[in-house]
Structure 1
Amino acid sequence: MMIGFDDRWIGNHGIGRFANELAKRLPIVPLLLRGKPTDPWDCLHLSYSLYNQTHRHFFSPGYNPPLGKPCSFSFTIHDLIHLDVAEESSVLKRAYYHAIVRPALFNADVVFTVSNYSKERLLEWSGIAESRIVVVGNGVSTGFGADGERIINHTPYLLYVGNQKPHKNVERLVRAFAVSQLSRTMELWLTGNFSNSVMATICELGMSSKVKALGFVPESVLPAYYRGAIAVVMPSLNEGFGLPLIEAMACATPVLSSRATCLPEIAGDAALYFDPVNIEEMVSCLDEVQDDTTRTRLQLAGLERVKLFSWDIAAEKVNTAIQTVG
């Protein structure tokens, strides 16, 4: 059965990577959909469009369902950050989730998510039957591997990959780095541009020469940054999956991770963990990763752990579930 696919989600962000990789592997029919899938009113246009399509099933790799049930459909809730994180929430977003997303969870033939943590949050929030949710995970895209080009820098660097929204906890990472032993001999590199609050923290601590913003890093060169790093750190307060964890592991780069939400589920025994609100614990992890034996252990554990995650497996789970309900 061919699947009507919302390809508007394809892009360089987390959901965009998920959408792009599944689109390569599923028997899809791209739909001629206008507008942005993140627009709260997209559900109206989407519902109208689906009434006039000839495919048998509609699948969205993101959180935009149609109103009612214009056809057999499924969609993907990667996390509930728009509800769980105050800085990412608003009256409009909460209204959208309660008025559009929650009813759609009951109308959908199947609901996909990417971690058991996100599944449990969905069950807790919505009250739908557990059997309606399928956890498909994420994978590592072609190009992320231990072999290949690496960034060579005269000063070793610790790498953070992600945006600088408050729940990403980058300010605490900067504070921990500033008092760690690492800051004497290494730099902290952050993808993207400095947020105002992160920039203020860097200036307050006098770390302008030690903390660098890389700007936008294309996926084509991101593996080289992973491979060149002493370690990758993920200090988040809330995640639905944490794609940089497995990308770093695939590149044989040691991982330091917050133990919040889904992150221990994803990283398993292949990371050093810290409480994301405890700067002393974060500092301890930063200092521990200087040890060669520790780094080697994390590299080997990561290369083994990442074998659990595959875009082929994720796509197969999605396709099997859709073909079953279709």
Structure 2
Amino acid sequence: MALTVVFNGNYLSLRPTGIGQYVLNLWRCWRHAQKPLRAFMPAEYLQEPLRGHRTVKTPGHLARLIWNQTILPTRLRPGEVLFNPVPEGPLVGGLPQVTAAHDTIPLIFPELFPRKQAYFRYLVPACLRRAARILCNSEQTRADLVRFYGLDPAGMTVIPLACDRERFFPRPADPRQLAFYGLEADQYLLYVGSHEPHKNLARLIEAFARVAGDWPGKLAIAGACDPRYTPPLMRLAEQRGIAARVRWLDYPADADLPLLYRGAHLFAFPSLYEGFGLPVLEAMACGAAVLTSTRGALAEVAGQAAVLVEPESAEGIAAGLEQLFDPRVRAKYRTLALQRAAEFSWERTAEATWQVIEGVGSPPAPP
């Protein structure tokens, strides 16, 4: 009998970012390959569903956690394997599970995420220990799971993320579309992501203030404004005399994000820590020259294809920006970025993930 995988896709929101892109692209690749799937996820993602799919839409995080622990175990069938793209699988029941883990950032910066401590200290490790196999998006994440939870690295498989190459690829940016955001091609530095403190936007703004006198463009910050974190960043830009040169873009439309990467003079992502750092890969796939951090998995993802800086030094970030202002250096890193991005694909990620799941679901070979 063919193995059936139950895809626990309830993490998906109506506008997936970050881990949601991981869930969505695995789902897309497996559907295209006609893998034997049953799925639980918001109905909006079950267009032209394969036979046997069920849809469940939960109203929020807490409801999703409760549903996963109470209702989901009753919907599973003998002989199936449950795939959890985040560590929220059921702790009861005998069905084998494969569970993905993406980062332990709230444990690295507990003072920034006090409300997530119980989730990461108790539920996440319990779910990971319940899994027959753990998938990690980077070697850094695997090391963090060993460090914080004492898990056996032999029970983990590292499979990197990717970016959608049908969306993210190099081509000239449309000046009219950029004008909608108040930008001109090659006249802005771009950051994409949240405004949480570990993203290190304060030091990026400080670094930009240091180089603003030598370079006439703008700093474009694409990501949802947060009432806790954005106002102090805006005040910092005002104090440094660069408020008029910082563009706060909120999250752009999905179709516009590649446009912003392509039009950027360079992409800056000096985060203090990431389990992977998907925006770096997206920018590279669009042919952007990239500056990123030596911390977390960012150097692992970027390889030799980005300027790496010590993120706790605004002076060091500024020096990295100035390095990329040189047209020859920028052209070099754009070429390296495209070569590096070509090493990643969602199809390879999806197939490698499926092979791990099949290995868990296959009966052991006879002695």
For the criterion TM > 0.5, the same-fold answer is yes
Give unpaired runs (5+ residues) of structure 1: none
Match of 1:179 among 210, 216, 231: 210
Give the letter aligned to residue 302 of structure 2. Answer: A
Match of 2:21 among 17, 21, 32: 17
Q: Partner of 1:101 in structure 2?
A: 124
Given that 2:73 and 2:92 are in contact with CA atoms closer than 8 Å, whether structure 1 keeps it comes out as no
Given that 2:73 and 2:93 are in contact with CA atoms closer than 8 Å, whether structure 1 keeps it comes out as no
Percent same amino acid among aligned pairs? Answer: 28
TM-score (norm 1): 0.93
Give the letter aligned to residue 7 of structure 2. Answer: F
Give the letter aligned to residue 174 of structure 1. Answer: I
Alpha-carbon offset, residue 270 of structure 1: 0.5
Given that 1:246 and 1:267 are in contact with CA atoms closer than 8 Å, whether structure 2 keeps it comes out as yes
State the Cα deviation string for residues 249-297 of structure 1 (Å, max 9, x = none).
1111100011111111000111111111111111111111111110111
Give the letter aligned to residue 38 of structure 2. Answer: V
Alpha-carbon offset, residue 112 of structure 1: 1.3
Give distance in 2, aligned partners of 1:100 and 1:197.
33
Q: Partner of 1:46 in structure 2?
A: 68
Alpha-carbon offset, residue 64 of structure 1: 1.5
Given that 2:190 and 2:266 are in contact with CA atoms closer than 8 Å, whether structure 1 keeps it comes out as yes
Given that 1:37 and 1:64 are in contact with CA atoms closer than 8 Å, whether structure 2 keeps it comes out as no
Q: Partner of 1:6 in structure 2?
A: 8
Given that 1:87 and 1:166 are in contact with CA atoms closer than 8 Å, whether structure 2 keeps it comes out as no
Alpha-carbon offset, residue 163 of structure 1: 0.8
Given that 2:295 and 2:311 are in contact with CA atoms closer than 8 Å, whether structure 1 keeps it comes out as yes
Taking a change above 3 Å as real, the CA distance of residues 94 and 36 of structure 1, as seen in their structure-2 partners, is farther
State the Cα deviation string for residues 109-155 of structure 1 (Å, max 9, x = none).
11112111011101122222212111111111121001254455447
Match of 2:254 among 206, 214, 219: 219
How many residues are paired up? 324
Match of 2:91 among 59, 62, 67: 67
Give distance in 2, aligned partners of 1:116 and 1:143.
27
Give distance in 2, aligned partners of 1:58 and 1:232.
38
Counting only pairs closer than 5 Å after superposition, residues 148-159 of structure 1 correspond to structure 2 as: 149-151=173-175, 152=178, 153-154=183-184, 156-159=187-190
Give distance in 1, aligned partners of 2:151 and 2:331.
44
Q: Partner of 2:364 in structure 1?
A: none
Given that 1:111 and 1:134 are in contact with CA atoms closer than 8 Å, whether structure 2 keeps it comes out as yes
Given that 2:104 and 2:120 are in contact with CA atoms closer than 8 Å, whether structure 1 keeps it comes out as no
Q: Partner of 1:126 in structure 2?
A: 149
Give distance in 1, aligned partners of 2:173 and 2:82.
40
Secondary structure of 2:206's match?
A: helix
Taking a change above 3 Å as real, the CA distance of residues 191 and 314 of structure 1, as seen in their structure-2 partners, is same
Give distance in 1, aligned partners of 2:299 and 2:143.
15
Secondary structure of 1:240's match?
A: coil
Q: Partner of 2:318 in structure 1?
A: 283
Q: Partner of 1:164 in structure 2?
A: 195
Which stretch shows the higher mean deviation, 191-200 or 210-219? Answer: 191-200
Which stretch shows the higher mean deviation, 13-22 or 181-190? Answer: 181-190
Counting only pairs closer than 5 Å after superposition, residues 131-280 of structure 1 correspond to structure 2 as: 131-141=154-164, 142-147=166-171, 149-151=173-175, 152=178, 153-154=183-184, 156-181=187-212, 184-194=215-225, 195-280=230-315
State the Cα deviation string for residues 206-234 of structure 1 (Å, max 9, x = none).
21210001122122111111110000000
Alpha-carbon offset, residue 34 of structure 1: 4.7
Report the RMSD for the aligned CA atoms in angstroms: 1.9
Give the letter aligned to residue 124 of structure 2. Answer: V
State the Cα deviation string for residues 40-71 of structure 1 (Å, max 9, x = none).
x7444213223322441211212312223452
Give distance in 2, aligned partners of 1:284 and 1:258.
13
Give distance in 1, aligned partners of 2:57 and 2:122.
22
Given that 2:208 and 2:318 are in contact with CA atoms closer than 8 Å, whether structure 1 keeps it comes out as yes
Given that 1:69 and 1:108 are in contact with CA atoms closer than 8 Å, whether structure 2 keeps it comes out as no
Q: Partner of 2:45 in structure 1?
A: none
Taking a change above 3 Å as real, the CA distance of residues 228 and 118 of structure 1, as seen in their structure-2 partners, is same
Counting only pairs closer than 5 Å after superposition, residues 75-86 of structure 1 correspond to structure 2 as: 75-86=99-110
Alpha-carbon offset, residue 36 of structure 1: 5.5
Taking a change above 3 Å as real, the CA distance of residues 33 and 67 of structure 1, as seen in their structure-2 partners, is farther
Given that 1:68 and 1:104 are in contact with CA atoms closer than 8 Å, whether structure 2 keeps it comes out as no
Give distance in 2, aligned partners of 1:184 and 1:147.
24
Secondary structure of 2:85's match?
A: coil
Alpha-carbon offset, residue 193 of structure 1: 4.3
